[in-house]
Chain A
Amino acid sequence: MALTAETLEQIQGEPDWLRGRRQSALAEYERLPMPSRTNEEWRRTDVSRIDLSQLAPPAHGYGAGLEGGGPLPSGVILQPLGVAAAEHADLVQPRLFSLVRADRDRFAALHAAFFTGGTFLYVPDGVVIEQPIIGRHFSSPDSTVLPHTLVVAGKASKFHYLDEYIAEDDQEAGYRSGSTEIFLGEGAQVGYVAVQKWGRNVWHFADQRAELQKDSSLRLFNVTLGGRFSKTRVEASLVGQGADAELKAIYLASGEQFFDFHTLQDHQVGNTRSDLLFKGALQDVARTVYAGLIRIEKGAARSDAYQANRNLVLSDHAKATSIPMLEIDNNDVRCTHGATVGPVDPISMFYLRSRGIPEATAKRMIVQGFFGEVLERIPFEHARRLVETELEARLG
């Protein structure tokens, strides 16, 4: 079926302002054309085979709570987004879909019109939460699954949050998204990890965008494993001096998987820092596209930005494209970027083989070593263990 105004009418219990917002996103969705391959962002990303007139009804199951359970510190709000929209409209209304905009393209509009719930997290000024907060989203093959996360970090707050996207059935098909907006107040310190492990036959579109005020620091870590097609945009706007964004990701593409990553490090003011590292391993006939941009705006003096994309190509037929871009409008900056695409280093391989390690095992060790450097940057233990376990199972 196609998702229409009738689909929206079935969504109950949301305040009028949110209903209105969904309706205007629906209008965008109906107005916007499918992205064409003449558009640079979509040139290497083929969406012509998505049939948006054949989507399952939107729905998904989800929950969130502290790791190991227990009560949240007072003042912290952790609610389903629909509930928070009614009970805390003052916090949600000005922010929801202000970073991840509905009018960006047809898929973003689809997500904003029909998002199937998700988590709202608000941490008041000065509150520090030691245990990470774990959000889980579950899909089923008969649903279109469109989770949305909205995180608001008060001044000098400090906490960790994990979004885990879990498939009921590893071979499921269908349409998925998983978008996140993170607002960091002055001096806030946030660790955010997203682990996408939908089934191997789904279409997945995600937008993760953060806005960093003065002296705030974000450590964002993205893990992409699932989907036949997965397109993820990871973007950070540094709007306050002293803001610091670390954007890291790993991806493991095998079989016929296609992964697309677009990143943006937007330094709007000076004395800001961003550090990006996306590392991927490709097997079989998988294909990946990485395109990232560092943008230093005119007044953003003394910004420091780093961007790197490293691809380890494990098979003869896998294909990696890497496009690291810079747009620098200020001279008093330090900007570096790098990209590599290459096979397993034959010297490392020879070394391991000469120690009697079988080729398959040696290859796995090399991949683990390749990811090891960046796994250490996962901001908290729970997520690190989760990712390590996942990788181990998949590299088997």
Chain B
Amino acid sequence: MATVPKVDVGTDYKEKYGFFVPEEYVFKAKRGLNPDIVKEISWMKQEPEWMTKFRLRSLEIFRKKPMPRWGADLSVIDFENIFYYLKASDKQSKSWEDLPPDIKATYDRLGVPEAERKFLAGVSAQYESEVVYHSLQEELTKKGVIFTDTDSALRDHPDLFKEYFGTVIPPADNKFSALNSAVWSGGSFIYVPKGVRVDIPLQAYFRINAENMGQFERTLIICDEGSFVHYIEGCTAPIYTTDSLHSAVVEIIVKKNARCRYTTIQNWSTNVFNLVTKRAMAYADATMEWVDGNLGSQITMKYPSVYLMEPGAKGDVLSVAFAGKGQHQDAGGKMIHVAPNTTSTITSKSISKAGGRTSYRGHIKMYPDAKNSKSFVKCDALLLDDESRSDTYPYNDVDAENVTLGHEATVSKVSDEQLFYLMSRGITRNEAETMIVNGFIEPFTKELPLEYAVELNRLIQLEMEGSVG
């Protein structure tokens, strides 16, 4: 079993829910980014030539694109001081027993085996850059559902993979999608065949666990006509002394009459830069739902989007952000209405505390063909003290006839009346505020599976402890 080495693991994170397992790598790439490293990654993974070329082309794009000048301050990221690929063990483990003991220790702390016992469909745990443990219930396989890590998908389902990979988010979309396209590793690949409903949520746990370590996972989900799937990603990470970069790309295709829900609980340690591009294409009468919770990280910039491509498509974003000391959560959503009779809603709830900053940044775009479409955006912000900050930047562009678009936002503090009521019942101020915050985000928690809702409430409680009142 792992022993906890003497490493400066930050302050409060460790006591709350952080832990540390020593590094043990089979292969460790050099720091920095250049065509040789990209080729090496591709060679290590024994990828087909088209993927190597795709990576190299993406690297070119990454180099040409300027850093975004809006949103959070990203100037401190040193791209040359990052490991772009790490592999924790030689081969993938087929069962829990085969996992290396230190990795097992990590998941023991996270409760992964328990999660599996609770009839969860599959556990796909990303330790460092590659999926090392993956189990899939036979039931799913029988239905024809593919649920695997992205590297294996490229190997085992090359045609399906090539048809969709990079079609929703091309490398040139933005600087960080280009970076991800150049050095991606791991992530989940899901294919749900026509008419198949996956009743239990598919889950993956992601972890970052090396100093200066980049995580560039790549997820691709294809919901064929009339299918349904709910995918959940959750992150916790031990804290380290220097900054880490997490830059994922998530592409989702929801075909006619299908429905996909993608739930995230992001709780990176507060030194991580979390710069993620998430986008879905929804076709005729399809539904795409993003349920997105951002609690951790130093800086998050993430705007899950839905492109409503055909009539009747529906997009939903439900987003919660919590920014504590030193954190900036720049999150929101984008709805791009391309076809007529499409509908979308974005609900954003944000909480800022102890000098934290939350920003809602959203974009609603109605193209000329998006006749008779509707969109509604609602943002509520709660500021827990006078050091904290909340911003709202909604961009609404309407180019189509007969469309309805609404945006509403409120910013407020915890109401004195509510506090007084609770405290007059003998509840301490801190407990009362925690209750109010939990109530505030309830529309979000009630959309989560029970164990996640419990975990989220617990996380909020930990975030609220001590420093308020």
* B386 and A330 contact, CB distance less than 8 A: yes
Task: Enumerate A310-341 residues with CB–CB distance to B below 8 Å.
Answer: 311, 313, 315-317, 319-341
* B412 and A333 contact, CB distance less than 8 A: yes
* B391 touches A (CB below 8 Å): yes
Task: Enumerate B362-421 residues with CB–CB distance to A below 8 Å.
Answer: 368, 381, 383-399, 401-413
What range describes how many residues of A lie at the interface? Answer: 20 to 34
* B407 and A332 contact, CB distance less than 8 A: no
CA distance A80 to B131 in the complex (A): 76
Other-chain contact of B392, A301, A326, A343 (Cβ < 8 Å): A326
CA distance A315 to B368 in the complex (A): 12
* B119 touches A (CB below 8 Å): no
* A342 touches B (CB below 8 Å): yes
Q: A residues within 8 A CB of B410?
A: 335-336
Q: Determine the residue in chain A with the shortest Cβ distance to B380.
A: A336
* A40 touches B (CB below 8 Å): yes
Other-chain contact of B396, A298, A315, A317, A323 (Cβ < 8 Å): A323
CA distance A342 to B402 in the complex (A): 7
CB-CB under 8 A for A323 and B395, given A328-B389, A330-B386, A331-B386: yes
A348: shortest Cβ distance to chain B, in Å? 14
* B396 and A331 contact, CB distance less than 8 A: no
* B401 and A327 contact, CB distance less than 8 A: no
Q: B residues within 8 A CB of A328?
A: 381, 383, 389-391, 411
Q: A residues within 8 A CB of B397?
A: 44, 319, 321
Q: B residues within 8 A CB of A340?
A: 404-407
Other-chain contact of B393, A323, A330, A341, A343 (Cβ < 8 Å): A323
Other-chain contact of B401, A40, A311, A315, A323 (Cβ < 8 Å): A315
* B383 and A331 contact, CB distance less than 8 A: yes
CB-CB under 8 A for A331 and B388, given A324-B409, A340-B406, A341-B396: yes
CB-CB under 8 A for A325 and B392, given A332-B386, A337-B408: yes
A53: shortest Cβ distance to chain B, in Å? 30
A58: shortest Cβ distance to chain B, in Å? 36
CA distance A249 to B110 in the complex (A): 56
Other-chain contact of A319, B393, B398, B408 (Cβ < 8 Å): B398
* A335 and B386 contact, CB distance less than 8 A: no
Task: Enumerate A321-374 residues with CB–CB distance to B below 8 Å.
Answer: 321-343
Q: A residues within 8 A CB of B390?
A: 326, 328
Q: B residues within 8 A CB of A335?
A: 409-412
CB-CB under 8 A for A339 and B407, given A301-B386, A323-B395, A326-B392: yes
CA distance A338 to B386 in the complex (A): 24
A325: shortest Cβ distance to chain B, in Å? 5
* B391 and A320 contact, CB distance less than 8 A: no
CA distance A301 to B385 in the complex (A): 11
* B70 touches A (CB below 8 Å): yes
Q: Determine the residue in chain A with the shortest Cβ distance to B352.
A: A331
CB-CB under 8 A for A338 and B408, given A323-B395, A330-B386: yes
* A339 and B70 contact, CB distance less than 8 A: no
* B389 and A329 contact, CB distance less than 8 A: yes
* A333 and B391 contact, CB distance less than 8 A: no
CA distance A268 to B408 in the complex (A): 24
* B411 and A338 contact, CB distance less than 8 A: no
Other-chain contact of B398, A40, A301, A321, A324 (Cβ < 8 Å): A321
* B413 and A332 contact, CB distance less than 8 A: yes
CA distance A343 to B403 in the complex (A): 6
A339: shortest Cβ distance to chain B, in Å? 4
* B394 and A334 contact, CB distance less than 8 A: no
Q: Determine the residue in chain A with the shortest Cβ distance to B66.
A: A38
Q: A residues within 8 A CB of B409?
A: 324, 326, 335-338
* A298 and B393 contact, CB distance less than 8 A: no
CB-CB under 8 A for A330 and B401, given A323-B395, A323-B396, A324-B407: no
Q: B residues within 8 A CB of A327?
A: 389, 391
* A325 and B401 contact, CB distance less than 8 A: no
* B398 and A341 contact, CB distance less than 8 A: yes
* A323 and B386 contact, CB distance less than 8 A: no
Q: B residues within 8 A CB of A325?
A: 391-394
Interchain residue pairs with CB less than 8 A apart (16): A301-B386, A313-B401, A320-B398, A322-B405, A323-B394, A323-B396, A324-B394, A331-B385, A334-B412, A335-B409, A335-B412, A339-B394, A341-B404, A343-B401, A343-B402, A343-B404
Q: Which 4 pairs of residues, A with B, have the shortest CB-CB distance?
A: A331-B383, A316-B401, A326-B392, A335-B411
Mark A residues whose CB is within 8 Å of B: 40, 44, 298, 301, 311, 313, 315-317, 319-343
Known pairs A323-B395, A341-B404; list 19 more (Cβ under 8 Å): A311-B398, A313-B401, A313-B403, A319-B399, A320-B398, A321-B396, A322-B396, A322-B405, A323-B393, A323-B394, A323-B396, A325-B393, A329-B388, A332-B386, A336-B409, A338-B406, A338-B409, A339-B394, A340-B406
